[in-house]
Amino acid sequence: MASDSPTVCSAALFVSGASLGAGLLALPIQTGLAGLIPALSGLIFIWGLMFISGLILAETFVCNGQSSTGLFSLYEQGLGRWSRWLVTPGFLLVFYGILVAYLSAGATVLASLLHLPQDELPLLLLFFLLSSATVLVGLRFVHRANGVFMLLLIGSFAAMLVLVGTKMESKNLVYQDWKFLPSALPIIVCSFAYQNVIPSICTSLNNDRGRIQQALLFGTLLSLLVNGLWIIVVIGVLPLADGTGSLLTAFQQNQPATVPLARNLHSEDIRFCGLLFSMAALYTSYVAVGEGLRNFLADLLDTQGKQSRDWLVGGLTFIPPLAVTLIYPQLFLQMLNLVGGLGVVLLFGLLPALVFFRQVRKQKQPVRQVVALLLCVIFTALILLECGQELGLLQIHPQVEYWHGRLHP
């Protein structure tokens, strides 16, 4: 029986798979207009915050033992029954929103890289059926399939680095616009949104604290490494504002990073590797988020262990995002910004910080209380920042014209 249990390595890959999705494809475009140094600084900062929030949730889940079957009941036990008024709509927004973004991106990437019409319905349905079926088969198969696609992702990513890295230009790396960095934070947050799979990770690792912490650390570090290298390469290759393959044009046209790369470098090898890389990233994250949503709905509807209602939960998990994507197929970047800046920060940042603060306040630990309070302040500030942008109260624009003149006199 022990041999069938997921290892720390497979659990870490599952964590990385939850992070490396559509946010990875948007990350270099959003952060590229802030510049390399600001982008990497923001990446490390958000990684630290999201890693800590994951540790908090995992520790709380383990401490609750069998009394907590998922994040919904975990938050209710940690914060009280009032939390469901935030948790329920927040979870539905995050999970459904991310799945809609991934379905939209999957069809767009395939169509762009294969020179097919953008509204090619069979591509969307093919991606939907294969990815959703993986989750419905069961958790053990999810881990195995995720491991295979993570290897494909890493292999295609390495090939992309080799093919694209030789085209980098040092002049592209000096551009800095720190004022634009806050507008990219929601996409960075999405690139480290793995907390929805923590119940599955804890359960599969038999609530072993040491193994869980290792899985979270190695999984998030792998995501940090991949995201960092990807940002460096794309920013180094793509011009700031010259032509249709520039960072600015890709930003204005809501394009994933692989599209302007292939267009700017005119390489079929890059196009092929970009296809594999994009699909592996979308598949692994879609499966992880789908598993997290199914777990949440089962917890919400109290269907854990009731096999007769598994198909009901499966239908509620995957049919709504498919319907939304079919009606509104162009919601990629808009949905990621909304989900990252509001939903993910609230559910996987602020609420874990509040749980942590309540725990350490009862234990009368002053140092940890200060840390918990600081986390609450930071995550609240991120939410207010996104609200300001969504409501039009805060408008942040890149200083492209100024830097374009300096880089190209």
Domain ranges of the chain: 7-407
Sign, CA torsion 230/235/241/243: negative
Pairwise pLDDT comparison (117 vs 215), residue with the higher score:
215
Say if residue 315's pLDDT is above 90.
Answer: no
pLDDT exceeds 60 at position 187: yes
Nearest to 207 by CA among 66, 347, 9: 66
Residue 101's nearest CA partner among 349, 271, 335 is 335
pLDDT bracket for residue 406 (50, 70, 90)? very low
Residue 80 backbone zone (phi > 0: left; psi -120 to 50: alpha; other: beta): left
Nearest to 109 by CA among 99, 120, 98: 120
Q: What's the mean per-residue pLDDT of the chain? A: 81
Query: For residue 118, what pLDDT band results from cuts at 50, 70 and 90?
Result: low
Predicted pLDDT of residue 66 = 53
CATH 1.10.3720.10 fits 7-407, yes or no: no
Cβ-proximal residues to 44 (8 Å cutoff; 6+ apart), any chain: 224
Least confident of 66-80, 174-188, 385-399: 66-80
Phi, then psi, of 305 in degrees rounded to 5: 85, -5
Determine the pLDDT at residue 119.
56
Q: How far is CA 116 from the centre of its chain?
A: 27
pLDDT-based confidence at residue 245 (cuts at 50, 70, 90):
confident
